[in-house]
Amino acid sequence: MFVSARSDYALRAMLAVAAAAGGGGGDGGGGDRVGELAKAASLAEVQDIPLSFLQGILLDLRRAGLLHSHRGADGGYALTRPADEITVGDVLRAVGGSLTTVRGLPAERAGYHGVAAGLTDVWLAVHGAIATVVDSTTLADLLTHAPANPTPTPTPPA
């Protein structure tokens, strides 16, 4: 599996939006107490993503119906659905297209012949295995699973 920077950033941004709204982390970025809208600039800072690049990604996410946006002063982004109804797969597909590609084409139309005919089934099986993982993991899962790293670290950075 190849996870591009774009996909990676998209996931991190979605998690940061979810945390800002649901009151999870409070990663100490800008300290904005606006309520539920997260600004692109603060997302970029919290997760170390180039701002201009992130804006294009947020646009894709909004077009895919995962984010709701609001312009003007006090604008920002929010999830369109609760964090436990958005899966990792949703985000990946929104910015990256198909989950599995063979020579640039979706797995099911690889077009093999002769002794290679069986390969299609392999790609389909791989595709299914990946989908099972990413479609059963929600943003909420990722936020609550708080692993070894206890997130808050209230001590200010350097």
Q: Which positions touch its own copies (CB under 8 A)? A: 1-5, 8, 11-12, 15-16, 18-19, 24-25, 27, 46-47, 88, 99-103, 107, 110, 112-123, 125-127, 129-130, 132-134, 137, 141-143, 145-147, 149, 151
Q: What is the footprint of DNA within residues 73-92 (CB under 7 A)?
A: 73-77
N- to C-terminal Cα distance for the chain? 36
The two structure tokens encoding residue 59:
């646009």
Residue 36 binds what, of DNA, its own copies, none (CB under 5 to 8 Å, by partner type)?
none
Q: List phi, psi (to 5°) of 3.
A: -100, 115
Residue 154 binds what, of DNA, its own copies, none (CB under 5 to 8 Å, by partner type)?
none
Q: List phi, psi (to 5°) of 70.
A: -140, 130
Other C-beta atoms closer than 10 Å to the C-beta of 58 total 24
Q: Judged by CB under 7 A, does residue 58 bind DNA? A: yes
